Amino acid sequence: MSDHLKDSEEPSNKRVKPVMKSNSLTGVITPVKTPALKRIGQSISRSISFRTEARPLPPAHLRQRSKASSFPRRRNSQCWSDTVESHDLTVKEIKRQEVIYELTEGERQLIDDLSLVKKVYYEPMLKLDIMTESELGQIFGTLDSLIPLHQDLLSRLERLRGSEKTVGEVGPTLINWFPCLEAYVTYCCNQVGAKALLDQKKNEKRVEHFLRLCQESSFSRKLDLWNFLDLPRSRLVKYPLLLKEIQKCTPPDHPDEDTLPDALELIQSIVAEVNKKTGEAECQFYRRGLMYLEDGQRLPEIQQSRFLYCHGELKNNKGQRLHVFLFELALVLSRPGEDRDGGQVFHVYRQPLPNALINLEEIPDGEAAGGGTFRGAFTGGNDKVKNCFRVSSRGRSKAHSFSLQANDSFSKQQWITCLRQAIVHSRDKKGSCEALCRTLVSQKGLQRETTDISQSVLYTSLMGLLLVADNEVWI
């Protein structure tokens, strides 16, 4: 989850009170004298807030508009303590009401944003024929169906507020509503392809011009279309954090003490399932985009992988930029390209490496680039190298050794960490596969030569698994 938005400045001819930077979802808080109850609420609001995934774009030169937009740039900075005059509550109870209020207002803001996306992006682009209905359907996915879900939760939360604007028991309501979030599986799985198509369409002048005009308008809050499309996923991963805060502020004798743990476990399982399915969809999407130069590059480990550890740009020792994929069971180096329709594809570069057979070597910064290992393009004309590591494979005659360079030390460390995890995972999986196959062969008394067709098929299948795991037939 990334940094929250920084509000734009007010017009210079308008007198305003200074404001403080805040990480709260509810915006900024004016540092003026307030009653004690409100000061507590504001302090709590800052401490319990979490950063959203929305990220402002870098400033761009946009044309001036003569007429101001009717959409506000700022979010409502009100917190729960601003809605009540006074109340006989303890500090812990106030904290609880602030978190519940933030949960409620977060739903309201999400509904507003999703409705805005439909009204100012989807409908105009369809009406003006900027994109086809099919393309818009791929980019926006099932976003329209998410609005009623959050409207339902908002109405439920509002009904829980008593006459004194406090909420009592919230756990049962959340337990009853959270299963609706399974609809996020479809939406989030579609996002991988949606992002790729949107990036492709931005190369068209009409699309780019329309999106820039929207970004320029006040309603956008300096966000582009993708920031809005990613808001539901950002909201989903925030629910467990909010629940933990509510649970932390709930007294031991409160009715929610028994239901909140169940609600937290439920939402965590839903988020985990969405993440799993999204990871599988991402893996399938990039697998389909691989273009093989020869059949020998089509490792079974690539097709058997269910998720991606990471992927991104690295340089080889010739200074060439490669897009590297670390799948669950294989490392694939590729060169980005385009297909006939302008979609992105990845041409597989050299021979992919099975993770179980990878040898990883971290190259310390400042190591001499002797022996022609690193060329001038790799070292920038110096005799020292930085942010580099080497991967090689054992046990396969066609395997290669690759020296790779990351953009910075942080990126290098991320790659090394993911590679180590992938290597350990793949070797553990390979060891389990070998042990199972050998056990079955031993228990069944299977042999290479047999007249029993079923035994022969089973033997061949088991040997195939071992061949995939170790690249040599065990007998």
Q: What is the pLDDT of residues 254-306, one digit of tens each?
A: 889 999 999 999 999 999 999 999 999 999 999 999 999 999 999 999 999 99
pLDDT tops 90 at residue 438: no
| pTM of the full structure | 0.70
pLDDT of residue 91: 80
Report the alpha-carbon distance of residue 363 to residue 375 in Å, rounded. 15
Q: Are 205 and 131 in contact (CB under 8 A)?
A: no
Q: Residue 433 has which token pair?
A: 């596969």
The mean pLDDT value for 351-360 works out to 93
DSSP single-letter state for residue 363: E
449: three-class secondary structure by DSSP: coil
Q: Residue 396 has which token pair?
A: 């396969």
Report the alpha-carbon distance of residue 141 to residue 198 in Å, rounded. 12
User: How does pLDDT run across 125-136, given as a tens digit for each residue?
Assistant: 999 999 999 999
> In 3D, which of 349, 468, 336, 364 has the Cα closest to residue 402?
349
Least confident of 85-89, 297-301, 460-464: 460-464
pLDDT tops 70 at residue 48: no
The pLDDT confidence band at residue 342, using thresholds 50, 70 and 90, is: confident
DSSP single-letter state for residue 161: B
Q: What is the mean pLDDT of the chain?
A: 78
Amino acid at 399: A
Q: Are 320 and 374 in contact (CB under 8 A)?
A: no
Most confident stretch, 24-28, 48-52, 266-270 = 266-270
pLDDT tops 60 at residue 322: yes
pLDDT tops 70 at residue 312: yes
pLDDT of residue 167: 86
Q: Give me the domains of the chain, ranges plus CATH numbers.
A: 82-288 (1.20.900.10), 292-448 (2.30.29.30)
> In 3D, which of 383, 389, 390, 444 has the Cα closest to residue 412?
389
pLDDT tops 50 at residue 468: no
Q: What is the DSSP code string of 365-418?
A: TT-B-GGGSS-HHHHTTSSB--SEEEEEESS-TT---EEEE-SSHHHHHHHHHH
**Residue found under tokens 């990039």:** 286
Report the alpha-carbon distance of residue 299 to residue 302 in Å, rounded. 6
Report the alpha-carbon distance of residue 220 to residue 210 in Å, rounded. 13
**Residue found under tokens 């004298």:** 33
Report the alpha-carbon distance of residue 469 to residue 17 in Å, rounded. 67
Report the alpha-carbon distance of residue 300 to residue 302 in Å, rounded. 5
The mean pLDDT value for 467-474 works out to 41
The mean pLDDT value for 95-103 works out to 90
